[in-house]
Homo-oligomer: A and B are copies of this chain.
Amino acid sequence: MPSISDVARHAGVALGTVSNVLNHPAKVAPATLEKVQKAIAELGFVRNSNAQQLAAGRSRSVGLVVIDISNSLFVDIARGAQRHAAELGMNVLVANSDNRIDQQRADLDFFDEARVSGILLAPMEDASEDVARIRRHGRPTVMLNYDTGRGDCCQVLVDNEEVGYLAARHLIDIGRTSLAFVGGRDYLQPVALRRRGVRRAVAEAGGRVTLEEVPTENLDPPGGLRAAEGLVAKVRGGRLDGVIAVTDLLAMAIIQVFGAQGVDVPGDVAVMGCDHNSAAWGGMIPLTSVQMQGLDMGREGLRLLLAEIAAGPVGHEHVTTVLRPELVVRESTVGRAAALTQL
């Protein structure tokens, strides 16, 4: 492939002039500029960004590491970041860790080696060691959808307590009074927070509404299947008319079991999820859930990252932006007719 010096020779100018045409066209005489651009076109010159970054010492790219690209939240994050980046003439490189923590480390290291100007990280678990390493190398890193609780980097979060609150509040608003919160142990941040929000909404309702908490081993469909079996009898006995599953995947599994056992959703029991995950949209009934604002999260994350890059290591104060979640009402809580009017 032709290099910048081939272009220079072809155009009959010096190598440095071609570089100026590429980077500071204002500093070049119009006639020269045209000559060089013609040469570039004729030779089909394509700048080598490796050499460019090496020489310039800076990059127009930021890296985005997501733990699972098949989760629609992370897709939305990627799209939000990319759109904003495009507006700014920057580039977002996306790496998918495919739910493997070692792959996530590899992805972070890859971006570190590539000397990207900053990294957006949307992890599932604490990744503080890896992040600390990256940041020690002087590479700004913004956490997405995960609260380190240490204020040691910028973060963009959704108010997960509000997620739980909105969910419980919705069920209460549609007249449900015997609720269950189905979710794993609290070691996962969102679970603990959503649970707290659910409790708050129930508490606000006074004694009118009861809440039962149902633990599950995992947050995936199999976990939901087991949990649901215990719930069927309660629904039949009139002791349960609303279920909040901490994830959509869990909710979907629960609905599946209910359907198989002849329990009517939402007639007998309303069921909803909490993370508006399109992977869970394949269920029997469209799921009411809570929107996690992925697009905004990506966009805001990029904004914070660029601010930190611009500020440099000193003179930067870490910021945490908390996004407001939004309820998405569909059939699994209000039935088909009511859901249609929402369209």
Q: Residues on A close to B: CB < 8 A? A: 1, 44, 46-54, 69-70, 72, 75-76, 78-79, 82-83, 86, 91, 93-96, 98, 103, 106, 109-110, 112-115, 133, 136-138, 256, 259-260, 278-279, 281-284, 286, 330-331, 336, 340, 343
Contact = CB atoms under 8 A, between A and B. Distances in A.
B82 A113 contact: no
Contact of A284 (B46, B70, B114, B331): B331
Q: What's the number of copies of this chain in the assembled complex?
A: 2
B49 A51 contact: no
Contacts of A136: 44
B96 A48 contact: no
A343 B343 CA distance: 30
A147 B256 CA distance: 39
B75 A113 contact: no
Given A46-B112, A93-B95, A260-B340, 12 more contacts: A1-B138, A47-B113, A49-B50, A49-B114, A50-B54, A69-B69, A69-B94, A79-B96, A93-B93, A93-B94, A256-B340, A284-B286
A49 B279 CA distance: 35
Q: Which 4 A-B pairs have the closest CB atoms?
A: A281-B281, A49-B113, A50-B50, A281-B282
A75 B340 CA distance: 30
Given A113-B47, A136-B44, A98 B83 contact: yes
A103 B79 contact: no
A96 B98 contact: no
Contact of A279 (B48, B50, B260, B278): B278
B54 A48 contact: yes
Contacts of A256: 340, 343
Contacts of A340: 256, 259-260
Contacts of A75: 69-70, 75
A36 B13 CA distance: 45
A79 B93 contact: no
Contact of A96 (B70, B94, B106): B94
B79 A98 contact: yes
A321 B70 CA distance: 25
23 contacts: A44-B137, A46-B109, A46-B112, A48-B54, A48-B113, A49-B110, A49-B114, A50-B115, A69-B75, A69-B94, A70-B76, A75-B75, A78-B96, A79-B96, A82-B96, A82-B98, A91-B110, A94-B94, A260-B340, A281-B282, A282-B286, A284-B286, A284-B331
